Amino acid sequence: MNPLNALQQALITHLRAQDSLKLWLGNTVRVYDELPEEIIHPYVTLDRVEARPLAGNGDEITEQIVTLSCVSRFYGTEEAKAVAAELRVILDQAQLTLEGNRLANLRVSYVDVFRGTDQRTIYGVVRVRAVTEAVA
């Protein structure tokens, strides 16, 4: 399986299985690649993905930078901060099982919480860096 798809599937599966996220994101943890027609806040989306082969290793070892966004409509930044903090704890050095690939490393490299231009929506951005290796 393509390392980008394998990591994405593993991230979504891992996050949806976390009981600690149910407090914020509901019993069916709202983590999406594609938003449903009816949106319930807060939720987390997988947004930007950057990928590059690591120098000298061809396509077998891939570095991926994945950006996840929490979108909140709570009054104030508390909810987005709490979800972003929980994502950081859950994802930093998580051991994920990837189809057709092995996860060598997963680290949270960036967290940011900010108000959207509408002054009502709060975003919590969490960026992770993953290194994956294709398995034969």
Strand intervals (E) in the chain? 31-32, 43-53, 61-72, 101-115, 122-134
Query: What's this model's pTM, rounded to 2 decimal places?
Result: 0.91
Of the candidates 70, 118, 76, 114, the residue with the CA atom closest to the CA atom of residue 90: 70
Within the chain, how many helices (H) and strands (E) appear? 3, 5
The enclosing domain of 86 has a CATH number of 3.30.2000.30
What is the bridge-based pairing of β-strands 61-72 and 31-32?
unpaired
The 10s digit of each residue's pLDDT in 91-103 is 999 999 999 999 9
Reduced DSSP (H G I as helix, E B as strand, rest coil) percent helix, strand, coil of the chain, to 5: 25, 40, 35
Of the candidates 85, 65, 84, 90, the residue with the CA atom closest to the CA atom of residue 7: 65
Q: Residue type for 100, please? A: G
Q: How many residues does the chain have?
A: 136
- Domain range for 68 is 3-134
Which residues are registered as beta bridge partners of 131? 63, 105
The 10s digit of each residue's pLDDT in 49-81 is 999 988 655 568 999 999 999 999 999 999 999
Domain count within the chain: 1
